[in-house]
Structure 1
Amino acid sequence: MGAMEQVKSLSGSAEFPCYIAKPDGKPAAAIIVIQEIFGVNNGIRAKCDHWASLGYLAIAPDLFWRIHEGTDLDADVPEQFKTALDLMGKFNQDQGIRDIEAAIHYAQNSIGNHKVGCVGYCLGGRLAFMTACRTDIRASVGYYGVGIDGLLGEKHAIAHEVMLHIPTADGFVAADAQAAMHAGLDDHPKVTLHDYEGLDHGFAAEFGDRRDDEAAKLADSRTQAFFKEHLA
């Protein structure tokens, strides 16, 4: 359904690749799909295609384009997992937010309004939270975002609704980090947190060994209802 296209960077001095899936007819809203450390792989592309099937313009920016353009890795292959971790170590997250903002501007211009949301996974879950704090995104969803407990100093800047999906047995987000997220965000009027008892990181991956189908469908239904409400 979608294809890779070039989008201008925020400065306008360069272009970078994004997977863009377009619905039948003119979309009323758009969703930025923010990659895991595995790049814009088949799972991320499938999520874009799904959102397009629901009538949204869906855009997945290749956030690693400056260090390794075209990253497309499989979490279930150990060597590729290691490559992904290496790329994560080289990735400039602040620059990544600027690229996400460029994708937001592209989406706004494409649909003719500001009804743009984002959904991210793993690294992308962290970036979705950062996007909510640093841009004019209208709704943000993060799945098993890493290190959000270290970003709570930015929560005052959240202007629009945020939803976070938190698996309680996440091997990359310890129990004390989860507790800090709840302590810092449970009373925030714009933030909703959902816990998934006993589940691990990556439970909503579209494909592969990490997926828990029942929990993924529950989380995705919550995300779908969230966007339907806040991007209407």
Structure 2
Amino acid sequence: MSKTITLTAADGHELSAYHAGHHDAPHALVVVQEIFGVNHNIRSVADRFAEQGFHVVAPALFDRAKRGVELGYSPDDMKEGLALRAAIPLEATLADLRACVAHFHTHAPHRKVGVIGFCWGGTLAWDAATKTRDFAAAVGWYGAGIAKHVDAQPHCPVQLHFGGQDASIPPQDIRAIREKHPDVEIFVYDDAGHGFGNRDRASSYNAQAEHLAWSRSVTFLEACLHTSGNIPDRS
């Protein structure tokens, strides 16, 4: 079951979100967009997770700056996406992610919630893990901003995926993350570039890397979001 819903953040901001899966699914997951909005690719990712037993919400994080954003991958689209991202403070974006958690907990108060993000969303997944205590697991795919926040300490298990040919994330950045966080699972796909998991971008999509990263992500999230164990402290 997929539909668009409205969420309300703690500061009163209302944002739309793509909802997929069922309220009684065993796992809850926030899917975080790239700089291109909640477009066809992100909706497809949400649907795929729903098919694998996740209750999924993909928040429209650009709603604070401009509503209804759904971009393609042209240079102009990228320029617009970067400008919108720059217009929204991190604290506001984290409030929107926490609104997703609150939505899940209205239906299942004790269910653990995970977060997975791509590109900008990959960095935000790291920020969600280090700057909040709302999430029981975080997965980041090619988050270029993670190295800038490498000193932050995650409050939940984290798994990261990078392309070995990603010009925006040099090897020294990945090495710095490994050295600072030896407990974080990090995978590098040697022949993949930035955006290797986006099936709508033929110029960057790498089927072999995407398949392996997807399998690893699902296995990791299922293990971390198992109903036994403690629920994260959200204080």
TM over 0.5: yes
**Which residue of 185, 190, 196 corresponds with 1:192?**
185
Question: 1-side partners of 2:117 and 2:195: how far apart?
Answer: 11
Q: Which residue of 2 aligns with 1:140?
A: 138
Query: Which residue of structure 1 aligns with residue 156 of structure 2?
Result: 160
Alpha carbons 1:28, 1:111 under 8 Å: kept: no
* Structure 2: distance between partners of 1:146 and 1:90: 18
Matches of 1:166 and 1:89, distance apart in 2: 23
Instruction: Report the Cα distance in structure 2 between the residues aligned to 1:88 and 1:112, rounded to whole angstroms.
Output: 31
Q: Which amino acid aligns with 1:170?
A: D
Q: 1:64 aligns with which of 62, 65, 75?
A: 62
Tell whether the 8 Å contact from 1:46 to 1:206 is kept in structure 2 after alignment: no
Question: Which residue of structure 2 lines up, in the alignment, with residue 84 of structure 1?
Answer: 81
The answer for the alignment partner of 1:179 in structure 2 is 175
1:214 aligns with 2:232: no
Q: RMSD across aligned C-alpha pairs, in angstroms?
A: 1.4
Distance 1:14 1:198 in 2: 41
Amino acid in structure 2 at the alignment position of 1:52: A
2:91 partner SS: helix
- Partners of 1:107 and 1:171 in 2: CA distance: 36
**Structure 1, unpaired ranges of 5+:** none
Answer yes or no: is the 8 Å Cα contact 1:139–1:161 preserved in 2.
yes
Aligned twin of 1:22:
21
What is the SS of the residue equivalent to 2:185? strand
What corresponds to 1:103 in structure 2? 100
8 Å CA contact retained: 1:141, 1:223: yes
Aligned to 2:3: 3
**Cα pair 2:27 2:222 within 8 Å, conserved:** no
Which SS does the other structure have where 1:159 is aligned? coil
Deviations 1:32-79 (A, max 9, x none): 00000001000000111111112211000111111111111112x222
SS at 1:33 equivalent: strand
Amino acid aligned to 1:86: A
**Any unmatched runs of 5+ in structure 2?**
227-235
Superposition pairs of residues 36-55 of structure 1, within 5 angstroms = 36-55=34-53
Equivalent pair of 1:27/1:111 in contact (CA under 8 Å): no
Q: How many residues align?
A: 224
Q: Which moved more, 1:31-40 or 1:171-180?
A: 171-180
Letter of the structure 2 residue corresponding to residue 177 of structure 1? D
Give the one of 62, 71, 74 matched to 1:73. 71
Q: State the distance in 1 between where 2:145 and 2:30 align.
A: 21
1:113 equivalent in alignment to 2:113:
no
Contact 2:142 2:160 in 1 (8 A): yes
Contact 1:29 1:111 in 2 (8 A): no
In 1, the alpha carbon distance for the partners of 2:165 and 2:138 equals: 23
1:192-224: CA deviations, max 9, x gaps?
A: 111111321100013222211111000000001
Whole-angstrom CA distance in 2 between matches of 1:211 and 1:10: 37
Higher helix share: 1
Separation of aligned partners in 2, 1:160 and 1:81: 31
Shift of 1:83: 1.5
Structure 1 runs (4+) greater than 3 angstroms displaced: none
TM-score (ref. length: structure 1): 0.91
Q: Percent identity, aligned pairs only?
A: 30
Secondary structure of the residue aligned to 1:91 is: coil
